[in-house]
């Protein structure tokens, strides 16, 4: 079998006295979609942020696409391969949608203007808002802004996409348009690690569910098994609240 594209081995992360991660290990295969759920404060965001080293960890080892997160050079190499989408869209408000998509391609990927704009337009089409290239983020709905944020991450041709509660700041009528983009991405074979409590999305797109609590992975299962027959008391209690 091929090496997992993400290898997380026994990660511990403390914030002062708070033990955010208490020994988390997880392998993600290329093309796999892993959905992480769990109560607030269970370490989900911290785990995602460790994967591209937005957060330093105290011990353990993470390897992405064969590159260990150790030297600065390696960390930068991993960051180029990993796209991240947050709850808050984090677009540059003073730049047009097109320029938001062009900027990092020029700076990080060293693409010329025409090439970067071409990629940007293709991606705006892919996320369903080709007509918005000249708009500014403030002129877009939350759902549109989040789709721009996804397109911006994809513009870097990432091998892995991390999503941290990408729809939890959105009004209900906008959630679906973002989840549809993510579902399409999943069906195209993108490797995705998604923190989300959107159970419909999880059922449709996840290969694997991970339930976290108090800094640990408590249960791992297929969506079918997880939703119909959770094994752990804590998973059952959590599901009874979110379903
Ligand atoms: P989740 O995403 O599951 O809600 P987090 O990973 O954000 O959980 O947080 C896990 C724990 O780490 C929580 O107790 C949280 O308060 C703490 N924590 C997270 N980030 C920080 C930080 N920057 N400084 C101090 N404590 C933090
Ligand atoms: Mg979080």
Task: Tell which atom from ligand 1 comes closest to the C-alpha of 48.
Answer: 6
Task: Tell which atom from ligand 1 comes closest to the C-alpha of 43.
Answer: 6
Q: Profile the chain (243 residues) by mean pLDDT over runs of 10 residues.
A: 92 98 98 97 98 96 97 96 94 97 93 97 97 97 97 97 97 95 97 96 96 98 95 94 83
Which residue minimizes the CA distance to atom 26 of ligand 1? 15
Cα–Cα–Cα angle for 2, 76, 96, rounded to 5 degrees: 110
Taking a C-beta distance cutoff of 8 angstroms, is the pair 43, 24 a contact? yes
pLDDT of residue 1: 64
Q: For residues 95 and 106, what is the distance between their CA atoms, to the nearest angstrom?
A: 14
Q: For residues 114 and 134, what is the distance between their CA atoms, to the nearest angstrom?
A: 16
Task: Tell which atom from ligand 1 comes closest to the C-alpha of 55.
Answer: 23
Q: For residues 86 and 82, what is the distance between their CA atoms, to the nearest angstrom?
A: 13
Q: For residues 96 and 112, what is the distance between their CA atoms, to the nearest angstrom?
A: 18
Our mutation pick for probing the ligand 1 site, out of 43, 48, 166, counting the most ligand atoms within 8 A of Cβ, is 43
Task: Tell which atom from ligand 1 comes closest to the C-alpha of 40.
Answer: 4
Q: For residues 8 and 50, what is the distance between their CA atoms, to the nearest angstrom?
A: 9
Which residue minimizes the CA distance to atom 14 of ligand 1? 41
CA 112 to ligand 2 center in whole angstroms: 36
pLDDT of residue 242: 84
SS (H, E, C) 200-225: HHHHHHCCEEEEEECCEEEEEECHHH
CA 148 to ligand 2 center in whole angstroms: 21
Tell me which H or E stretch contains 82: strand 82-85
pLDDT of residue 206: 97
Which residues are CB-neighbours of 195 under 8 A, at least 6 positions away?
35, 36, 37, 44, 45, 48, 163, 164, 165
Pocket of ligand 1 (CB under 6 A): 15, 18, 20, 38, 40-46
Residue 241: Cβ within 10 Å count: 8
Which residue minimizes the CA distance to atom 13 of ligand 1? 41
Our mutation pick for probing the ligand 1 site, out of 13, 16, 18, counting the most ligand atoms within 8 A of Cβ, is 18
pLDDT of residue 2: 80
pLDDT of residue 5: 98
Taking a C-beta distance cutoff of 8 angstroms, is the pair 51, 108 a contact? no
């Amino acid at each position: 079998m091929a090496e997992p594209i993400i290898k997380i081995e026994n990660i511990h992360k403390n914030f002062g006295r708070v033990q955010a991660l208490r020994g988390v290990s997880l392998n993600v295969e290329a093309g796999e979609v892993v959905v992480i759920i769990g109560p607030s404060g269970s370490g989900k965001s911290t785990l995602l942020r460790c994967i591209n080293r937005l957060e330093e960890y105290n011990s353990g080892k993470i390897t992405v696409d064969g590159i260990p997160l150790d030297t600065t050079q390696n960390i930068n190499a991993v960051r180029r391969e990993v796209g991240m989408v947050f709850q808050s869209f984090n677009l540059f408000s003073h730049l047009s949608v097109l320029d938001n998509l062009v900027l990092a391609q020029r700076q990080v990927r060293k693409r010329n203007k025409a090439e970067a704009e071409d990629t940007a337009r293709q991606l705006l089409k892919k996320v369903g808002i080709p007509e918005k290239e000249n708009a500014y983020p403030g002129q877009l709905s939350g759902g549109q802004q989040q789709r721009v944020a996804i397109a911006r991450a994809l513009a870097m041709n990432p091998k892995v996409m991390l999503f941290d509660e990408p729809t939890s700041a959105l009004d209900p009528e906008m959630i679906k348009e973002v989840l549809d983009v993510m579902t399409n991405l999943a069906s195209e074979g993108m490797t995705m690690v998604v923190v989300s409590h959107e159970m419909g999305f999880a059922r449709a797109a996840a290969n694997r569910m991970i339930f976290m609590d108090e800094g640990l992975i408590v249960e791992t299962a297929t969506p079918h098994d997880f939703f119909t027959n959770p094994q752990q008391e804590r998973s059952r209690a959590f599901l009874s609240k979110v379903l």
